[in-house]
Structure 1
Amino acid sequence: MKKILDNINKHVILTADEEDIFISKVTIENFKAKSMVLKPGDICTKSYFINSGIIRSFTVNDNSVEHVLNFSCEGWWISDMYSYLTQKPGNLFIEVLEDAEVVVLSKENQELLYYEISKLERFFRILIENSLIANQERLMDNLSLSAEERFEKFCSKYPTLIQKVPQKQIASFIGVTPEFFSKMKARLLKK
């Protein structure tokens, strides 16, 4: 539980008693690669903190084309935020790419923690604000940067994923076809 407590303590400092209360409200789960944690139509009732492994969220359009929204690796959180916050059926797949150990926090326990440890409400507000900023930045990047520039940003944000994630998923994340990505990557390697 050290990793998640360190993650929390970056933003709010918990006492030893508060840490014990928090730990009593979470569980640890292990998922094998290629496991689906969530599917469209499911109501997301949990958020996940990644202790180890890689998890992605994505959607599939009417033409069966995948659109990767996020990759989450060690020290990051992942959930279908729309479904989690509204408790309505979601539209995302959440898939484990590399065997993962995660800390699981249910929506119900998160709400209880808000009452028991008010600092955690601040912590989760900060997480949501940071997520909103990252999503807005990504949207702006998709509108204003070239594919090469988006790939360079991906490489700096996710340096460990470049060798671990299939190229077609990286292409999807930066908003290009796998064919274009392959040609672009070959051009960049020649430079």
Structure 2
Amino acid sequence: MNESDAQLAGEYGADRPGLPRGRARLPVDVVRREQRRRLLRAVISAVAGKGYAHTTVGDVVARARVSRKAFYEHFRDLEHAFLSACAGAERQVVKDLSGAAREGVTAEEMLRDGLRAYLRLVEREPEFTRCLLVELPPVALEGRVAAHRRVGDLLRIWRDFAHPSRPPLPDALYLAAVGAIAELLTAHLGEPATALEEPAWEILRRLLA
């Protein structure tokens, strides 16, 4: 699998070069950073492929091409690695949504831009999407709710900007809007997410008025 710095999941194939050793070896901090990056991507890839209940540390280190010893230098266990990967990926989602705003556009266009940015990310990250929507174990549910609340906060900021004179909406309604779009994506898992822009937009339009 070809990787880019923005990818949230991936397998470091045997055809890719390993970390340099001997005289050409990298500084320790660079090696550790690269190991962690590979492991975080690999654990999402492994869980998406096998399900959390059937994934082992061996599956993760094989995908990352990192030793088991190195794994335990970064994480206590599989749960710790998976929760760390999900938290990092969810931060990336919020960052992408926050950076979608453009100057000189209407409030509606601004919200559309954020929705499109999210759907594009979902489409290019099918393994992360599957983890988040289907394979997420109970230990990670609290983190997903927290991530949904952060996205809901962005929606509230947008609505306050777009309609400053309207009465505020309950926080639960913003959370419901995020959850409704997640359910829409779950129902169409494996299909192009960008094709769901109109129904997702209708969810936002109706719930946020």
- Relative to the length of structure 1, the TM-score reads 0.30
More strand as a share of residues: 1
More helix as a share of residues: 2
Structure number with greater Rg is 2
